[in-house]
Chain A
Amino acid sequence: MIETDLLIIGAGPTGLFTVFEAGLLKMKCHLIDSLPQPGGQLAEIYPKKPIYDIPGYPVVMAGELVDKLMEQIKPFNPGFTLGESAMSIEETQDKCFIVTTNKGTKHKAPSVAIAGGLGVFTPRKPPIEGLTEFEEKGVDYIVRDPEKYRGKRVVISGGGDSALDWTVFLADIASEVSLVHRRTSFRGHLDTVDKVQELAQQGKVKLITNAEVVDVHGQSELDRLTIKVKGSDDLSMECDHWLPLFGLTPTLGPIGDWGLEIEKNAIVVDNATDYRTNREGIYAIGDVNTYPGKLKLILCGFHEATIMVQSAFKRAFPDKKLSFKYTTVMGGVGSLE
């Protein structure tokens, strides 16, 4: 069991800066994030996009801001549980919370700060009726073990890097690889695109462009797909596996079932006090929360985090007095390490 003073769910910019503000109050933090790296959306969706509204930075790349935040919180030595998503929460007799991830890792803390942003990043699923019945029975959204596809007939959908990479990789493993794509052009790395075209010319990969999979068939296991091809009749294609690789999309996920008040996919908090939710000891900060006048901005998340940790301190150390000091007066944060 991992024990900490403040458990933060979500390692995006708001979650990361929370570590700093909590650290100033000598609180230890631990972060959980479903992605394998810290940074949330900034690292996953738009690392190369510029941000212009971070005070003091006329412009900063999203990825660079994450690096800077990591540097800023390093003295406080936070713990990370990455690549796991928070599934359940239970309250203990001693007024603490135990949060368990999908992989069974348990975390205990007197306060929980949900800085979950847009939610958990999960594979984008094609809206085909009955598709979920074939999950793990022929349909996979993520390639975990390529050996599973050895000697099998595989159909891959998508036009991005992961679809192209797996097409190239599985061409040597599967008995048959077909790539179905909406357009005739691909957007992946140029050399991967060339490689796919080369494999297609050699007959090792079947390219089906201007097309999309519209239906799935089979008794209990997937055995056939219906593919809609622009300007011609639907194609019926026999296969053992279908890999729809359409990237990741965030959903609120299990947190939505934690007994918190939810409004339009966001957690309702009291912005007049400390961004508390309707459950005592659980706070929500950053893009994941909502209140009258809410703005989904990184800088607002930073503010919310700062206010919130003052209350989390009182829960972690009920007998200690909280004294506010400017970092300038402290002479940096080195003395707190």
Chain B
Amino acid sequence: MSDITVHIIDREGVQHEIAAPTDMNMNLMEVCKAYELPVKGTCGGMAMCASCHCYIESDHELNEPSEDEEDMLDQAFFVEDNSRLGCQIFMREELDGLTVRLAEESE
């Protein structure tokens, strides 16, 4: 069992330092929900809503967004170059120290 540290900046600007397991096939949306951070994860991680939209604030190398994820980001708002869907970012050792900021909710 190995945990990595992830920094989540919530919509009020408060930074939360949380421990995320890398051996449970968890994604960032699920990690946020597990810590009761305000991420809805409406579609359950299928990249079919944008309720886990976030900005990557550190320079970690991430997996490229899939076509599904890009499509969904087209329907999100306040999308920036560093926008991602949390549900498509899986926790692995290389992401230790990752910093993300939650995007504004739109409904």
Contact = CB atoms under 8 A, between A and B. Distances in A.
Given A45-B43, A251-B107, A124 B70 contact: no
Nearest to A159: B74
A258 to B, nearest CB: 20
A173 B67 CA distance: 32
Contact of A183 (B40, B43, B70): B70
A182 B65 CA distance: 15
A45 B48 contact: yes
B62 interface: no
Interface in A226-273: 246-247, 249-251, 265
A265 B42 CA distance: 11
B106 interface: yes
B40 to A, nearest CB: 8
B75 A247 contact: yes
Contacts of A118: 42
A293 interface: no
B79 interface: yes
Contacts of A127: 77-78, 104-106
A297 to B, nearest CB: 10
Contacts of B76: 246
Contacts of A296: 44
A49 B75 contact: no
Contacts of A125: 106-107
B42 A124 contact: no
B73 interface: yes
A187 B106 contact: no
B24 to A, nearest CB: 17
Interface residues of A, number: 24
B49 A249 contact: yes
Contacts of B77: 126-127, 212, 246
Interface string A114-127: 00001000101111
Contacts of B43: 45-46
Contacts of B44: 296
Contacts of B106: 124-127, 249
Interface in B51-77: 67, 70-71, 73-77
B75 A160 contact: yes
B46 A46 contact: yes
Interface string A37-79: 0000000011001000000000000000000000000000000
B49 A187 contact: no
A187 B78 contact: no
A158 interface: yes
Given A127-B104, A249-B107, A158 B75 contact: yes
Contact of B74 (A158, A249, A251, A265): A158
A181 interface: yes
Contacts of A158: 74-75
Contacts of A181: 74
A49 B42 contact: no
A337 B83 CA distance: 54
Given A127-B106, A187-B70, A249-B107, A46 B48 contact: yes
Contacts of A160: 71, 74-75
Nearest to B104: A127
A249 B46 CA distance: 14
Nearest to B40: A265
Per CB-CB distance, the 8 closest pairs between chain A and chain B, nearest first, are A159-B74, A246-B75, A127-B106, A247-B75, A187-B71, A126-B77, A45-B48, A127-B77
Interface of A: 45-46, 49, 118, 122, 124-127, 158-160, 181-183, 187, 212, 246-247, 249-251, 265, 296
24 contacts: A45-B43, A118-B42, A124-B75, A124-B106, A126-B77, A127-B77, A158-B74, A158-B75, A159-B71, A159-B75, A160-B71, A160-B74, A160-B75, A182-B73, A183-B74, A187-B70, A187-B71, A187-B74, A212-B79, A246-B75, A246-B76, A249-B106, A265-B40, A296-B44
Given A45-B48, A125-B107, 9 more contacts: A46-B48, A125-B106, A159-B75, A160-B74, A160-B75, A246-B74, A246-B77, A249-B49, A251-B107
